Amino acid sequence: VGRALYYHTMVQLLVTVATAVLLLVAGATAQRQGCENATFPAGRSFERCNTLPVLGASLHWTYHAANGTAELAFRATSGSAGWVAWGINPSGAGMPGSNVFVASQGGRGAVSVLTTILRSTAPALDNTTLQFDVPVPPTAEYAAGAYTIYTTVALPGNSTQQNTVWQAGPLSGGDILPHPTSGPNLQSLMRLDFLSG
């Protein structure tokens, strides 16, 4: 009886572990399928992507191990009277300390990208040099209800694991206004491995 109970318990444990692994793989696959069908102009393509968990955003990238850079596209849905941002926080998790790219439209519909460092939770959005190299200057476009920011970054510390942040908020007369401070806007951060996804 003792041996039969042992085998029965082991079988149950193996089934539970196998089910958990399958659920994790299915979740990762579903997350990638949400972004894998994205298309980009001018023949741009990326090796990896993640559908980010909030704010209708996705990140697409190709990691270049030879020089520790990531060529990337960040895409997020937004009305034309809004802005979106993506960045890396080289000093910790959260928004303060993040080095970000902010895309928005001016009064005539031209899309621009501001690079800035968020030094507090109520930052001054000055156009400044980031704390890591940006070998390919950022560009952005607005199409089909979404902004896409394109750039290449040298991953801080030459590490593939980075604290990433993203955000979205309103514009007024072309000026960037603060984003909402509840719900999804407070959940838009994650640790990302640019090597494995």
Write down the domain spans for the chain: 48-193
How far apart, in whole angstroms, are the C-alpha atoms of residue 105 and residue 170?
11
- Kindly state the percentage of the chain with pLDDT values over 70: 82
Long-range CB contacts (< 8 A, 24+ apart) of 42-51? 44/73, 44/150, 46/71, 46/72, 46/73, 48/194, 48/197, 49/197, 50/192, 50/197
pLDDT-based confidence at residue 1 (cuts at 50, 70, 90): low
Give the pLDDT score at 29: 37
Give the pLDDT score at 7: 54
Residues whose CB falls within 8 Å of the CB of residue 22, separated by 6 or more in sequence, listed in order: none
Q: Of all helices (H) and strands (E), which one includes residue 23?
A: helix 2-36
- Tens of pLDDT, residue by residue over 155-179, are 999 999 999 999 999 988 878 787 8
pLDDT-based confidence at residue 11 (cuts at 50, 70, 90): very low
DSSP-derived 3-state class of residue 7 = helix
143 CA to centre of own chain: 19
**What is the C-alpha end-to-end distance of the chain, expressed in Å?**
47
Handedness of CA 125, 186, 184, 182 (dihedral sign): negative
Q: Are strands 99-105 and 111-117 parallel, antiparallel or unpaired?
A: antiparallel
Give the pLDDT score at 23: 33
The mean-pLDDT minimum among 17-21, 29-33, 129-133, 177-181 falls in 17-21
- Tens of pLDDT, residue by residue over 85-99, are 999 999 988 889 999
Give the pLDDT score at 124: 75
The two three-digit tokens of residue 143, written as one number: 């199409």
Greatest CA separation for the chain: 80
Which residue has tokens 């890396």? 88
Give the pLDDT score at 18: 37
Q: Which CATH class is domain 48-193?
A: mainly beta
- The torsion angles phi and psi of 12, rounded to 5 degrees, stand at -60, -40
Give the pLDDT score at 3: 60
How far apart, in whole angstroms, are the C-alpha atoms of residue 93 and residue 136?
25
